[in-house]
Amino acid sequence: MLEQDRRLAGARGLTVQTVETSMEDLSMLPAEGFDVVIQPVSTCYVPDVAAVYLQIARVTAAKGLYISQHKQPASSQAEVLPGSRGAYSVTEPYYRTGPLPEAMDGLAHREAGTLEYLHRWSELIGGLCRSGFVIEDLVEPNHADLQAAPGTFGHRCCYLPPFVTLKARRCPTESVLQEQTRLWIPRSNQ
């Protein structure tokens, strides 16, 4: 992937520096070193999305933007093929731990041969806010195709949107700390 990034950047006349690391450990990058961080769908491959958010918060400048894409929880819970009534049954529990069952080959919403994790909305949205970001926008990219054959990606997307894109801005650290001491913040009893 990094070689592809370098090749594409070179073809467009851009200079890039690539680093191979885990999204859970960005310690080699400077604190507040980036005005914009863009993350395609990838947090599904780590068990703890909060750890990723804390690393992103550390490297994002105050008032910097974080654009992230995630898999929607319900899409990760449901069967890959429709049942007898043409709908997709929810078969995985929402409050689960550990990786999801292995994916079938040839699916656009899951990747065979990888470990994927379901992240609940309280982790995706709440975790982002708790790590020092304010959400400015949320978009569900529309991949639904009403004419698609049952069992295809487009057909499944009519029932279960697969992804969500979040636009968040990092709060200056001081204001986050001040707000947390003045406001009551609900906590779940996980």
Full DSSP string of 17-55: ------TT--TTSPTT-EEEEEE-S-GGGSS-HHHHHHH
The residue range of the domain holding 139 is: 35-172
User: pLDDT value at position 185?
Assistant: 65
Answer yes or no: is 18 within a domain.
no
| Per-residue pLDDT reduced to its tens digit, 142-185 | 999 999 999 899 999 999 999 999 999 999 865 554 555 556 66
Q: Are 33 and 59 in contact (CB under 8 A)?
A: yes
How many structural domains compose the chain? 1
* Count of other CB atoms within 10 angstroms of residue 56: 24
Handedness of CA 1, 44, 67, 55 (dihedral sign): negative
Query: pTM for the whole thing?
Result: 0.85
Lookup: tokens for 106: 């040839």
| Alpha carbon distance 152, 171 (integer Å) | 41
Residue at 12 is within a domain: no
- 29-39 pLDDT per residue, tens: 999 999 999 99
Q: Residue 189 has what pLDDT?
A: 62
Quick: pLDDT tens for 98-154. 999 988 777 777 888 889 999 999 999 999 999 999 999 999 999 999 999 998 999
Query: Of all helices (H) and strands (E), which one includes residue 9?
Result: helix 2-11
3-state secondary structure of 53: helix
Residues 90 and 167: beta-carbon distance below 8 Å: no
Domain CATH for 163: 3.40.50.150
* Structural domain includes residue 3: no
4 in a structural domain: no
Residue 13 counted as domain residue: no
69 part of a folded domain? yes
Residue 144 lies in a domain: yes
In a domain, 178, yes or no: no
